[in-house]
Amino acid sequence: AGMVYSNQVSVDILSLVPVAENNGPVCEGSVLSLSASTISGATYSWTGPNGFSSTQQNPIVSANATPAMTGEYQVVATVGGIMSPAASTYATVNPAPALATANNDARCNSGSVSISVSNIPSGSTIDWYASSAGGNVLPGGSETSVYSTPFISSSTAYYAETRNTSTGCVSPSRVSVSAIILSTPAPPPVYAATGITQKRIIWNWGTMGATGYRWNNTNNFNTALEKGTHNAHEEVDLNPGTTYTR
């Protein structure tokens, strides 16, 4: 009779179980990746939320992760036809905060302008920048909804970024807020008075495309009369024989 020989192969199943990890928590819009420890001769099979699957040892779930990708990811390793128990890792994708609302502001002539944002999401703060992307937080522009610009002589755009104070996640873009410098208009020329009577004068001035005019008998315009877009002013009950200059 022939001789029958047999060999026994002992496999340590525990040594086949990979260690599963991820790079989270990450912010929305960032890269979410997974990793499994190296096992000699192994192939890998990953599964996860939203039908995710991969046969890579260290797959990238997404280069633009969303909060919907939060959840448990499992991996099994197979060596010589023997499949390990599943290892798991829980990945978290934190949402990016929404943009705030820009509140532009203006001043006449050069100087500092106070600009601000409103409708800031709960749990978030605002950082101010000089550019729409990159760069450093402006001096005095950290964690504040109101920013006082440095001395500027022309209209300038600044950028407000929303940042969640717990997760550190920032808005996907920055909102532009304008600090506007208005030129002081030259005074309109006052034309010769018309309708002169002994006690009544109507003064006229040239329109300059302004949105409104003020009139006062002196240079103190704190108490000036608002004339709207009208370009005439009537004075009555004047003293006959008196010269009036406006």
Summarize pLDDT for 112-153 with one digit per residue, the tens: 999 999 999 999 999 999 999 999 999 999 999 999 999 999
With a cut of 50, which residues of the chain have pLDDT below it? 5-6, 8-11
Give the integer Cα–Cα distance in Å for 63 and 145.
Answer: 31
How much is the pLDDT for 156?
Answer: 98
How much is the pLDDT for 236?
Answer: 76
How much is the pLDDT for 100?
Answer: 98
How much is the pLDDT for 195?
Answer: 61
How much is the pLDDT for 92?
Answer: 98
How much is the pLDDT for 117?
Answer: 98
How much is the pLDDT for 234?
Answer: 77
